Amino acid sequence: MDKQTLSFQAEVKQVLHLVTHSLYSNKEIFLRELISNASDACDKLRFEALNKPELFEDQPNLDVRVAFDPETKTITITDNGIGMSAEEAVAHLGTIAKSGTREFMAALQGDQKKDAQLIGQFGVGFYSGFIVADRITVESRRAGIAPEEGVRWSSEGSGEFDVEKITRPARGTSVILHLREGEEEFLSGWKLKSIIGKYSDHISLPILMQKEEWDAEAKKQVQRDEWTPVNKAAALWTRNKSEITREQYDEFYKQLSYDSEPPLAYTHNRVEGRSEYTQLLFIPAKAPFDLWNRDKRGGVKLYVKRVFIMDDAEALMPVYLRFVKGIIDSNDLPLNVSRELLQESRDVKAIREGSTKRVLSMLESLADSDEAPEREKYAKFWRDFGVVLKEGVGEDHANQERLAKLLRFASTQADEGVSFADYVGRMKDGQEAIYYITGDSLAAARSSPQLEIFRKKGIEVLLLTDRVDEWMLSHLYEFDGKPLQSVAKGAVDLGKLQDEAEKKQAEEAATTFKPVLERLKESLKDRAKDVRVTTRLVDSPACLVVEEGDMSGHLARLLKQAGQQAPAAKPILEVNAEHALVKRLEGNAHFDDLAQILFDQALLAEGGQLEDPAAYVRRVNTLLIG
Ligand code: ADP
Ligand code: MG
């Protein structure tokens, strides 16, 4: 066959244009794509040789060699895989065999109807060489055919390509990139090795480069004719779990996360089914400094068929599990998948759901372990990451029940580590709800006047002091069929926990106290929605509560701190008719001052701020001098 000049298929021209223009910001991926093709070619040879061992031609050791030449400004990637015949070179490098070109183009151009599945059916990796090269020469000889049947394919990546027959004793393919002006940075052993380390370290095939040596006379690095592997050539996660030691997992984790401590826990699984992938996920032992930043990308790297695709693939993990580190290696996703396409892919959705469940199982097995050190690990995890996990209660409705079981709280009976299950196990006879109070700090929550009646009756109350708690509870209404009830919202209804005598007493107090209540309402009409007698107080004269469904004072304060204008709902002032101060109201000459003081004190007691502190001081002083 004499040298022929052929035209690229029309679609190829368009793809070439798009790939070289839209992927330029990520140009180093050309090496990943070409190494991936070399690796595929070796896989194909291995497969065909299963029935035809002679294809190995006495050269069964497969590898990829990456060379560069500063003189000719070329990079050459050589494999001894299956190779291509002249016909195959024309077909595979000149046309796009797979259907769906138009759709693919639309997707790359940012059409609304992006579909990662289409890219999956599509091979364009080879053309990424043209991002950095203005000419690519491919020399190849297919395994099993004569050396004289080799082919040289060459193109400048515009409209056409040349093919001619050559003699090539070596089986396999060399891809020679003639670098564009300005791409000389790639003519460096160090640079190429670092790209290989970044993207292809876990390719299971050895990637070899020539050894370099300092030549003192020439004052430069010179390459020796000795090839050494530059990748690890075996991805940890592809190996059998039983062959991997805890130390190896720890080491891998440290490299992956730049963490100096070993992980708290890990999970390693091969998932088969609709979507095939391997997951190796770690929970760090301590929180990173930027854990709070919800915009921070996740810590899970995406691989496709052992080829590194991207760091921080946030689509693989829900935001509330952003502390998880690890890798996902998919068998189904296309190598050229972008972040945008990941967001939409159904395979990715399946991976995310599967991985979320794995992480939750990992946490559950720590939390529910029979062994104390494991449970202690969970307690440590909770201290560092609990606040972030709480976000999941509101964000991940599918796993809400599992997440609720993993929550831990402080309560009036324990400083930390109380689960809903612990709480339910300690509920009093006749107690129907799980009681909680939110507060700005543990100390403030613990001394809330609203807790008094609960303390008197020995009923446990959960003390919630994290910023996300209020928000979380707006998504979680019950646990195990028991409603979650704020002790600072609505009227206190202890239901069966209150005996008849108490109820009667309260009703009587309300009646005799009515005239005072009316006056209080009048005095406080600008500040309180209502004033009523309560049974929830024992030692305190008054407290503030909000109506069921209204925003608590605690949440309103949080929002204000965050610079958001909260829709102000007036609270209800509840008074303890048994309290000496309240009893003193009737017929008091300073009724108005006393009323304001009661309200201000109730506000202070729940951690609120007075609008006019000076007025409060003046009133108290007037009474003190009295
Ligand atoms: P994909 O790898 O997804 O098929 P590419 O554009 O990367 O798409 O490659 C196109 C085709 O060219 C491959 O499917 C393969 O048939 C052929 N090819 C590319 N590189 C090699 C190689 N090193 N050895 C053999 N065939 C190759
Ligand atoms: Mg490819």
Whether 117 shows a pLDDT value over 70: the answer reads no
Residue 144 in contact with ligand 1 by CB distance below 6 A: no
Find how far residue 437's CA is from the centre of its chain. 30
For residue 116, the model assigns a pLDDT of: 27
Question: Which residues 6+ apart lie within 8 Å of 96 measured at CB?
Answer: 9, 11, 12, 15, 122, 123, 124
Same domain for 299 and 185? no
For residue 467, the model assigns a pLDDT of: 83
For residue 295, the model assigns a pLDDT of: 63
408, 376 contact by CB (below 8 A): no
Nearest atom within ligand 1 for CA of residue 125: 7
Structural domain contains residue 205: yes
Euclidean distance between CA atoms 365 and 370, whole angstroms: 9
Euclidean distance between CA atoms 241 and 201, whole angstroms: 20
Total residues found in the chain within this entry: 626
Same domain for 66 and 208? yes
598, 526 contact by CB (below 8 A): no
Compute how many other C-beta atoms are within 10 angstroms of the C-beta atom of residue 325. 23
Number of domain units in the chain: 4
| Residues paired with residue 155 on neighbouring β-strands, in sequence order | 136, 161
For residue 105, the model assigns a pLDDT of: 63
- pLDDT per residue over 536-563, tens digit each? 888 899 999 888 878 777 777 777 777 7
Same domain for 225 and 313? no
CATH number of the domain within which 299 lies = 3.30.230.80
pTM: 0.65
- pLDDT per residue over 182-212, tens digit each? 999 999 999 999 999 877 776 778 999 999 9
C-alpha of residue 30 to centroid of ligand 1, in Å: 13
Domain extent for 421: 408-489
Structural domain contains residue 462: yes
For residue 2, the model assigns a pLDDT of: 83
For residue 104, the model assigns a pLDDT of: 57
Atom 13 of ligand 1, residue of closest alpha carbon: 92
CATH number of the domain within which 97 lies = 3.30.565.10
Closest among 603, 529, 525, 524 to 571, alpha carbons compared: 529
Burial of 611 by CB count in 10 Å (0-12 exposed, 13-18 middle, 19+ buried)?
A: exposed
CATH number of the domain within which 441 lies = 3.40.50.11260
- pLDDT per residue over 144-183, tens digit each? 999 999 999 999 998 899 999 999 999 999 999 999 999 9
Same domain for 87 and 134? yes
Give the SS3 label for residue 23. coil
565, 556 contact by CB (below 8 A): no
In Å, the largest CA–CA distance within the chain is: 117
Same domain for 280 and 303? yes
Structural domain contains residue 331: yes
Structural domain contains residue 387: no
Residue 86 in contact with ligand 1 by CB distance below 6 A: no
- pLDDT per residue over 411-443, tens digit each? 999 999 999 999 999 999 889 999 999 888 898
For residue 506, the model assigns a pLDDT of: 76
User: Token pair of 238, please?
Assistant: 């592809």
The amino acid sitting at 449 is P
For residue 290, the model assigns a pLDDT of: 66
Give the SS3 label for residue 188. coil
Whether 512 shows a pLDDT value over 90: the answer reads no
460, 426 contact by CB (below 8 A): yes
Q: Which of 355, 377, 399 is the last residue of a domain?
A: 377
Residue 268 in contact with ligand 1 by CB distance below 6 A: no
Q: Number of helices (H) and strands (E) in the chain: give both, helices first.
A: 21, 22
Q: What mean pLDDT comes out for the span 382-406?
A: 95
- pLDDT per residue over 8-65, tens digit each? 988 888 888 877 776 666 788 889 889 988 988 988 898 788 778 999 998 989 999 9
C-alpha of residue 44 to centroid of ligand 1, in Å: 11
Mean pLDDT for all residues in the chain: 87
Nearest atom within ligand 1 for CA of residue 93: 12
Same domain for 164 and 87? yes
Whether 114 shows a pLDDT value over 50: the answer reads no
Structural domain contains residue 222: yes
Ligand nearest to the CA of 172: 1
90, 208 contact by CB (below 8 A): no
- pLDDT per residue over 281-323, tens digit each? 999 998 876 666 666 666 898 888 877 777 777 789 999 999 9
Q: Which of 210, 232, 254 is the last residue of a domain?
A: 232
Task: Look at 232-241, 420-429, 591-600 and tell me which has the smallest mean pLDDT.
Answer: 232-241
Atom 12 of ligand 1, residue of closest alpha carbon: 92
Atom 18 of ligand 1, residue of closest alpha carbon: 37
Same domain for 476 and 595? no
Q: Which of 324, 359, 377 is the last residue of a domain?
A: 377
Same domain for 227 and 173? yes
Structural domain contains residue 401: no
For residue 112, the model assigns a pLDDT of: 32
C-alpha of residue 90 to centroid of ligand 1, in Å: 11
The order of strands in the sheet holding 572-575 is 530-533, 572-575, 542-545
Find how far residue 511's CA is from the centre of its chain. 57
